Amino acid sequence: MNGAIDFDSLWYGVRGSKILDMGKGIYENPGMIGIVYTYSKGLETLTLPLSVLPSFSFQISFNWWLLILTLYGVYRTASHMMSLKMAGYLTVFLSAVPAITNMSITAKTDIITLLFQVVMIEELIRTRKGEAGALGYATGAFLLSWTMKPTALLFSSAVFGMGVLGNLGLWQQRWRMAGGWRLKTENFTENRDGVICVALALAALMGIWARTLLITGIPVTSVFSSIFTRMGFTLKYPFSVQTIPNAGESLGLTAWLSEGMKRLLELLFAPTSGEMLHVFVAWGALSLWFVIALLCVLKLQGISGQSNRYFFWILLPFTAGNLLSLLMLTQVDGNYFELLYVLWGIWGFAALDQLKPGHLKKTAYGMAVVVICYGGLITGLTNWSQSGCQGLFPAKMIHRGYYDHELAARDRFAAEGKGEIWNFLAADSRTRVIAIGRHTESLYLPCCVQTYEDVTGSQGNVMLVKTMANFVEFLDYAKTDYIYIEAGYMAEGERADILTCDLVEYGILTPVCYENGNVLARVDVHGEKTEESEEKLVEFKQNRRLQQP
């Protein structure tokens, strides 16, 4: 875990000191177009002090502690519906679910989002018991989940909305018994802490969303941009509108249902296809199968769990929503189903707790142990350091007590013949660079770097490179200082090759360092075509190294 850095963590999770706060605070526009750079940055803001350290492992360890808090939150939530002993069993059971544990050895925002969702559910349950401040705590956790992950806008809202609807009748009855809907001083005093919690959470949400709003013109990016533009918000240059995905939009009803069934079977049994790559490291369907089988057996014993109807009121619609997202998503992410595994686990173990001691209960315990062992094995085989999303650095037995990723990256660049370029850029971490090279490896550059793939990929805006004028306009917007071109990345005649040659010819790019076919060029958006720039173009073509056919 200490040395492993997954792609998403490197892309936007651990580089806070270089892409989130470059010296002027988090509201400074870094000039980066990728949607991941404009996500809600709640977790990255929390871990910003850790991002200046030479190892990324400190930020990953922060998520490990969040996992412990999440499991404790599950234990507390479950204890409202079952014995403390059974709640402890459930906690151990869920700790072996890859979709939960693997999300704790990454700098991604999934585990902290799950933590706030679990806290939200417990507080909603506590409101049914009339505990003071519980609704405020639930609302605060709900709002804080929005600061962490864009998809929380959908999943957290679904759970919170159903939880509130399920409580409306009970709340109305209590308020009438307490003297009607008149506002009383003692009501505020009893719920003061909850009100303060809501106020602080709302302030945090406004602060985090304000960054995205200032940079992009809308408070939440990703697939929600199309919704906000319809509401009257104007998306700023150079961002493009992302629509809500619908994988079956071009399919007929029969083909759409068939594709959905195929996805469901893969999710439940074998997430091995290309579109299930993101499920591979966050799988948890075995635990779901165990709970479903357990509930079926208990149903035959006359135990249905109907004593927890309020929880079922939350679980059923949320499950339906997850199935719908499975049908619509163009790229299925296993971490979207974390909360689903938690909710079904609580439901199943609550029913198991009602079973009287005997052979059947012992058998259920035995099967749970098998699932735990198998889940632990799958977690070990599929985590970020061992799977297809493997860590980018090998393990080291001799170290300082932490993995120095900065030093390892520098040594790696030097070994690949790019040490001079590294040292040049390391002089100022606020230097803004567009890297035309391998996406993952380029992100290790010790400065504010975005890649050509960021600009032209599905989360960018390919129109920015359609013409040289478009790209120069973007370079000016992004306040780009340098363009780095990796040796062997560009093929002759492709768009990036033509574009860079034109930029050099017109004096917009001036190479300042050639190193083993790698190029670092200074940007001047006001450059002009001169005899000197034409000579620089000849020199550039002689010293760069193109992709071999």
Q: Give residue 248's pLDDT.
A: 58
Sequence-ordered list of residues with C-beta below 8 angstroms from that of 84, at least 6 positions apart, any chain: none
Residues 350 and 409 in one domain: no
Strand partners, 435: 451, 484
- The parent domain of residue 476 ranges over 405-543
Of 505, 500, 502, the closest CA to residue 530 belongs to 505
- What is the greatest pairwise CA distance in the chain? 91
In which element (H, E) is residue 433 found? strand 432-436
pLDDT in tens, the chain (549 residues): 455 677 888 888 899 999 999 888 999 999 999 889 999 999 999 999 999 998 888 898 899 999 999 999 999 999 999 999 999 999 999 999 988 988 888 888 999 999 999 999 999 999 988 887 899 999 999 999 999 998 898 889 999 999 988 888 776 676 666 655 554 545 556 678 889 999 999 999 999 999 999 999 999 988 788 888 889 999 999 998 776 665 556 667 777 677 778 777 777 777 777 666 667 677 787 888 888 888 888 888 777 666 678 888 888 888 888 887 777 776 666 667 899 999 999 999 998 998 888 888 899 999 999 999 988 888 877 775 544 434 456 667 777 778 888 888 899 899 999 999 999 999 999 999 999 999 988 999 999 999 999 999 888 899 999 999 999 999 999 999 999 999 999 999 999 999 999 999 999 999 999 999 999 999 999 999 999 999 999 999 999 999 887
CB 149 within 8 A of CB 39: yes
Residues 149 and 251 in one domain: yes
Gap between the Cα atoms of 429 and 449, Å rounded: 9
Gap between the Cα atoms of 531 and 501, Å rounded: 15
CB 524 within 8 A of CB 479: no
Gap between the Cα atoms of 54 and 43, Å rounded: 19
CB 8 within 8 A of CB 59: no
Residues 378 and 449 in one domain: no
Gap between the Cα atoms of 15 and 253, Å rounded: 44
Residue 278 buriedness (CB in 10 A; 0-12 / 13-18 / 19+): middle
Quickly list DSSP for 340-403: HHHHHHHHHHHHHHTSPSSHHHHHHHHHHHHHHHHHHHHHHHHSTTTSTT--SS---SSSSSS-
Of 295, 354, 352, 353, the closest CA to residue 319 belongs to 295
Gap between the Cα atoms of 117 and 125, Å rounded: 13
**Among 328, 348, 382, residue at a domain's last position:** 382
Secondary structure (H, E, C), 494-532: CHHHHHHHHHHHCCCEEEEEEECCEEEEEECCCCCCCHH
Strand partners, 484: 435, 520
Both tokens assigned to 193: 């802490």
Residues 331 and 415 in one domain: no
Residue 391 lies in a domain: no
Gap between the Cα atoms of 96 and 375, Å rounded: 5
CB 377 within 8 A of CB 332: no
Residues 335 and 432 in one domain: no
Strand partners, 485: 436, 519
The tally of domains found in the chain comes to 2
Residues 353 and 433 in one domain: no
Residue 96 lies in a domain: yes
Residue 457 lies in a domain: yes
Q: Give residue 387's pLDDT.
A: 43
Gap between the Cα atoms of 297 and 456, Å rounded: 53
Three-state SS at 436: strand
Gap between the Cα atoms of 488 and 441, Å rounded: 13
Q: Give residue 390's pLDDT.
A: 46
Half-sphere exposure in the Cβ direction for 20 (13 Å, CA): 23
CB 452 within 8 A of CB 32: no
**Among 382, 413, 448, residue at a domain's last position:** 382
Residues 476 and 353 in one domain: no
Distance of CA 243 to the CA centre of its chain: 18
Residue 395 lies in a domain: no
Residues 45 and 185 in one domain: yes
Residue 238 lies in a domain: yes
Residue 399 lies in a domain: no
CB 335 within 8 A of CB 99: yes
Residue in the block written with tokens 């079952």 = 82
Residue 432 lies in a domain: yes
Question: How many separate helices (H) and strands (E) can be counted in the chain?
Answer: 25, 5
Residue 266 lies in a domain: yes
Residues 110 and 246 in one domain: yes
Residues 185 and 53 in one domain: yes
Gap between the Cα atoms of 145 and 70, Å rounded: 13
Residues 354 and 489 in one domain: no
Q: Give residue 143's pLDDT.
A: 97
Cα angle value 336/334/462 (rounded, 5°):
80
